[in-house]
Structure formats: structure tokens, C-alpha cells
A and B are shown apart, each in its own frame.
Chain A
């Protein structure tokens, strides 16, 4: 079956521009997560949703970052007024249920969007 997909795979933008990164989770997965991964580091949590409800956005670095999942499926991570420090791999993941439901409910990751801000 289809895994998590993300688009675009690569995005180069100029400082000050807004970007929107899209994530299409595995069909039927309730929970969707956004992470950011710097080179040579592990992924760092940004935010997550159960269905359309944003449950935790404590990892978003500042108010230039926002995310939505309006119909409980596809999600968009938006970065306004991009800065060079925003350059990273942005990864989306989904899980069948939230981990709080009990059981592993491992997260399946998409291929990521490599964002470069020039």
C-alpha cells in the first residue's frame, strides 16, 4: 500500500518568502506528526494532529510556523517569512492511532521535504 507522501521533495526559496509543505499520510491513519531534521541529527518534534485537531504544537519554533489538517487527512506545514536557519529536512509521519491508545502505534515517516532558504 501507499506510504506517507510529501511534496515537494525539494524546495529552494529566498529569505522572506512563505513556503507550504504538504503531507499525505497513510490512508486511515488517525495521527499525523511533523518533525524537522538537521543534518547529522535526529528528527525534532514540531507538532501533531489527531484527525483534524492539533493536539500539541509545543515544538513549533516560533509563530512563523503553523500547521493545519482541515479534513483530518492531508496536512500543510507553512513557514512564513523564511529565514536561513529554517533550512532543514521537514519530515511528516503518521500512525494508525495515537500512542496514548496503548500499543506501539509506531510512526511511519515520509521521504521528507528538503528546504533550503537562500
Chain B
């Protein structure tokens, strides 16, 4: 079964607008962590933000915030005030329970247009 689901088609967003990237996850373990990574066309994988399953507040890192809805098993990434450099593929990933590996989704493609 797919652990992480990212099903949005490629998205175009206007510069300076906000964009929300959807991520749903599947686990029966009460202890897990959710991560978002950015992969620009250069191919590197850049860590953006982390949310732990027991965290009471939604994570924020600069222009990135995570809309964590535990009951719905969703962990959507919100990028505020989009910049041209935000054009990239964005991956949601989960680490669950006693496993140390990350399970990644298939990614969301974002293109920021001026």
C-alpha cells in the first residue's frame, strides 16, 4: 500500500502568491514524522520542514508552513509569497515508528510564473 500519496498534477502559481501542496499518508503507528523536501531541476534534495506526530503546533520555517491535520492524515505544505526560485518538484516523506527509513511520495511539480 502506498504510504505517501501526492496526486496533484503540475501546478502553475503566480509569483508572490501562496501555493498549497497536498500530501496524505497512511500509517497505523502512533509515532511518525513527516518531512518535505524540494528538488529543483539541478537534482539536489533540499530538506524544508518537519512535523512530528506528537507536535501540538503546525511546523513553520520561514515561508514554509505545514498544515497538519492528524485525523485526516494529511500534511499539506504551504509556500507563501512564491518566488521564481520555488519552481521545483516537492516531495513529502514519512518516517514511522521504529523504522528509520523515509518513504517518499511521487512528488508535486510547481512552476512559478512571473
Residue positions of A touching B, CB distance < 8 A: 31, 33, 35, 40-45, 48, 55-56, 59, 89, 91, 93, 98-100, 104, 106-109, 111-112
Contact = CB atoms under 8 A, between A and B. Distances in A.
Contacts of B37: 109
Interface residues of B, number: 23
Interface of B: 4, 33, 35, 37, 43-45, 47, 50, 52, 91, 93, 95, 98-107
Contacts, number: 58
Contacts of B47: 106-109
Nearest to B109: A40
Contacts of A48: 100-101
Contact of B103 (A33, A45, A99): A45
Contact of B102 (A41, A43, A89, A100): A43
B45 A45 contact: no
Closest 9 CB pairs of A and B: A42-B104, A109-B45, A104-B50, A45-B101, A106-B47, A98-B100, A99-B95, A42-B91, A99-B100
